[in-house]
Amino acid sequence: MQVGKPILYSYFRSSCSWRVRIALALKGIDYEMMPINLVKDGGQQLAIIEYLEETRPTPRLLPQDPKKRASVRMISDLIAGGIQPLQNLSVLKQVGQENQLTWAQNAITSGFNALERILQSTAGRYCVGDEVSMADLCLVPQVANAERFKVDLTPYPTISRINKTLLALEAFQVSHPCRQPDTPAELRA
């Protein structure tokens, strides 16, 4: 392992790890990956993304305009603080096997109802205007979680459209859970 090269402690399926992998790919930062089968709660990985943004500003993941930056952060916090923490593994375990699917679906649909309305006023090609931002890094992994929990995405045309556009980008593909070193064989693509 090269001295000074950043190490990402990553879990293939974790939406938090995936967000960071997209940021690293977009900024072209070379790193070692240390797969760990342990998922930390919450949106703490946004701190890594903000750190990357400040120390490697190109390409930027936050728009220059303060109001647009606030929109990006509002969307990111809605997903990383308002949706993901309610449907992560440790919470689902507490909820009990019987109620897991309904619980996760409720958390995601109530968050997506708010998100769809917000995106209708902020989105261009991506979540906020036509530049890929931190909000997009949060969106794609959350939509993948929604699909895993069989959430009907028909009521969310804006979310679905942006997700599809983003998944066509290289940085979102190389960072995808189906292409990680710790992805089990049956989930590889």
Given candidates 5, 67, 93, 188, which one binds a second copy under the rule CB under 8 A?
67
Helix (H, G, I), strand (E, B) or coil at 4: coil
Minimum CB–partner distance for residue 113 and a second copy (Å): 12
Question: Which residues inside 155-184 make contact with a second copy, applying CB under 8 A?
Answer: none
Phi, psi of 35 (to 5 degrees): -70, 135
Among the residue ranges 1-9, 19-27, 74-82, 153-161, the one whose residues contact a second copy (CB under 8 A): 74-82
Residue 73 touches a second copy, criterion: CB under 8 A: yes
Minimum CB–partner distance for residue 107 and a second copy (Å): 9
Contact 72, 135 (CB under 8 A): yes
When the beta carbons of 134 and 180 are compared against a second copy, the nearer one is 134
Residue 47 touches a second copy, criterion: CB under 8 A: yes
Helix (H, G, I), strand (E, B) or coil at 9: strand
Residue 69 touches a second copy, criterion: CB under 8 A: yes
Residue 21's identity, in one-letter code, is R
* CB under 8 A, 24+ apart: contacts of 95-102: 101/149, 101/150
Please give the biggest Cα pair distance in the chain.
49
Q: How many Cα atoms are found within 13 Å in the side-chain-facing hemisphere of 48? A: 21
**Cα–Cα distance measured from residue 14 to residue 39, given in angstroms and rounded to the nearest whole number:** 7
Site string for a second copy, 107-126 (x = CB under 8 A): ---xx---------------
Rounded to 10 deg, the angle between the 134-148 and 157-167 helix axes is 110
When the beta carbons of 43 and 177 are compared against a second copy, the nearer one is 43
Interacting residues with a second copy (CB under 8 A): 41-44, 46-48, 50-51, 54-55, 66-67, 69-71, 73-74, 76-78, 80-86, 90-91, 94, 103, 106, 110-111
